[in-house]
């Protein structure tokens, strides 16, 4: 799993994944580069991929793909016409 092209905040993604992993007490290998993040999920004790990895991957995907403007009424998300927030891209 790595950051998608629409996610323009690698450090934010890194911290989000780290928080979710800590909360789940399941720690992936995370590598951050200038423009992207790589997350490697595996259960080191089991020496392979387990249900823990699939559950954490699902939660990470759910959180990083959240679009406030589509999910609720009160939260609108970042203004898409404001260039200051151009690094956050939502699927149309």
Taking only the tens place, the pLDDT of each residue in 48-64 is: 999 999 999 999 999 98
- Interatomic CA distance for residues 21 and 58, integer angstroms: 12
Phi, psi angles (nearest 5°) of residue 38: -115, 130
Digit-coded pLDDT (tens) for 64-76 = 888 887 777 788 8
Helix/strand/coil percentages in the chain, nearest 5: 40, 15, 45
Phi, psi angles (nearest 5°) of residue 39: -120, 125
Closest CA to 60 of 12, 88, 43, 72: 12
- Interatomic CA distance for residues 29 and 18, integer angstroms: 10
Note the pTM of the prediction, 2 decimals: 0.75
């Amino acid at each position: 799993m790595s950051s998608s092209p629409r996610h323009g905040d690698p450090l934010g993604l890194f911290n989000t994944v780290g928080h979710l992993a800590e909360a789940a007490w399941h720690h992936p290998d995370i590598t951050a580069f200038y423009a992207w993040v790589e997350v490697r999920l595996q259960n080191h004790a089991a020496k392979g991929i387990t249900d823990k990895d699939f559950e954490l991957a699902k939660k990470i995907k759910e959180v990083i793909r959240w679009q406030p403007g589509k999910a609720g009424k009160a939260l609108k998300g970042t203004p898409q016409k404001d260039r200051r927030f151009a690094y956050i891209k939502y699927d149309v």
